[in-house]
Amino acid sequence: MTLETMPLSKALNSGLRRAMEDDSKVLLMGEDIGKLGGVFRVTEHLQRDFGDKRVLDTPLAESGIVGTAIGLAMTGFRPVIEIQFDGFVFPAFDQITTQLAKLTNRHEGKLSLPIVIRIPYGGHIGAVEHHQESPEAYFAHTPGLRVVSPSTPNDAYWMIQEAIASNDPVIFMEPKSRYWQKGEVELDASAAPLHSSRVVRTGSDVTLVGHGAMVTTLLQAAALAEAEGTSCEVVDVRSLSPVDYEPILSSVRKTGRMVYAQEAQGFVSVGSEIAATVMERAFYALEAPVLRVSGYDTPFPPAKLEGTYLPDADRILEAVDRSLAY
């Protein structure tokens, strides 16, 4: 097995490179992704190595970028779009939810749209408005879109390749606060299925569930809880639509308790849906209600207040204590 330690951003770069080497129909599009290599340098050197016909710098027009990608996909290409920041996706929202998500259904399955839309999302980077949002629920709510989010470099490397290979449109949510977090990447291993959840830490008292950047925070909370005598199992959801429920339900049936944590607002969220489904499908195994820890139901605050707004290990541990108190 070939292992290489790299940050999540480099793992994405390597995954994109491998996908482009394997299929000449894969091309990249986005603002400043060519010579600059993207704001977060995820596409660094790819234009140099593959040329400006396959790594395209686009105008600042997200709706036009997605519309162009739809046309390219109709003619056999596999476009990978970069939305520079999470809050900038909304000018393209109509193209994504009204056109991209529905065209395959309109054509009764005869038309495939293999498009990946990469969206850096979430907080913890001290940025201004429209640069730290978590809009994943909008896309998970939309039939016709697949939505995934890696939490580790290894997942980033393999999941971006699987997303590109998919014949359905994939919203690829990248936890930007973890771009610089390093981890081992198995370069010659077989990938886990794209739409699968995974237990990343075993435990017996409480199940902690989350996605993206929050998985690292959950692992921190689990380590702190263990020091206080509480054993927490951690499940990384990985795929937000569709959701692989079996690892989550199996864990809850073992522990009898569950806490879901996310950076996004709690109302009508991915965490809300997963909590409701667990309540329905594992009700008799639960010894306490499923609890949720989330960002507050307000617009994302100025950078100096992000530490108060975003869930941390302490807020998760508070929920664990409440769950154990039932």
Residues tagged active-site: 131
CA-wise closest residue to 20 among 79, 71, 74: 79
- What are the backbone dihedrals phi and psi of residue 174, each rounded to the nearest 5 degrees, phi first? -105, 120
- Token look-up 């017996």 returns 204
- Residue 222 tokens read as 């689990």
* Strands 232-236 vs 198-201: parallel, antiparallel or unpaired: antiparallel
CA–CA distance, 168 with 269 (Å, rounded to integer): 23
- 221 vs 48, 81, 187, 207, 325, CA distance in Å? 42, 34, 30, 12, 17
- Residue 29 tokens read as 């599009």
Q: How crowded is residue 277: how many other Cβ atoms within 10 Å of its Cβ?
A: 15
- Token look-up 């234009």 returns 47
- State whether residue 282 is helix, strand or coil: coil
- Residue 322 tokens read as 């409440």
- 216 vs 35, 210, 213, CA distance in Å? 32, 9, 6
Query: Is residue 194 within 8 Å of 171, Cβ to Cβ?
Result: no
- Residue 50 tokens read as 């593959």
- Residue 151 tokens read as 């939490």
Orientation of helix 214-227 relative to helix 313-325, angle to 10°? 60
- Token look-up 């975003």 returns 310
